[in-house]
């Protein structure tokens, strides 16, 4: 995929897919060595339309042994909040986990 369209295509695939597409993109994030590519994947992961997937995604950042890099964790909440389905989920997640998020 042309680098100029990668972000759009990845987001579209995750938004129209289900767990398999989300997990495929997450695996690509884990395999990526380039920070710009990782951020593209993190953004695409927040395009999911299923609330349970978005909640799962946000829960990943709270784990001590999270596979999401420490300095990229807060991007997850911001990215989910930019999704119309994820906006309320991100706000509730933030309110519920404020103390834990402060410790990150």
Chain center to CA of 83: 11
Quick: pLDDT tens for 29-83.
Answer: 999 999 999 999 999 999 999 999 999 999 999 988 899 998 899 899 999 999 9
pLDDT at 6: 84
pLDDT at 1: 64
More confidently predicted of 64 and 104: 64
Q: What does pTM read for this prediction? A: 0.91
Distance, CA of 27 to CA of 83 (rounded, Å): 21
């Amino acid at each position: 995929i042309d680098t100029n369209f990668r972000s759009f295509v990845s987001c579209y695939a995750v938004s129209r897919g289900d767990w398999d597409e989300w997990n495929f993109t997450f695996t690509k994030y884990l395999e990526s060595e380039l920070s710009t590519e990782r951020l593209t994947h993190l953004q695409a992961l927040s395009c999911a339309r299923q609330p349970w997937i978005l909640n799962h995604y946000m829960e990943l950042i709270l784990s001590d042994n999270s596979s999401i890099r420490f300095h990229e964790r807060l991007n997850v909440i911001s990215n989910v909040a930019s999704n119309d389905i994820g906006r309320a989920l991100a706000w509730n997640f933030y309110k519920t986990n404020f103390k834990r998020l402060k410790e990150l």
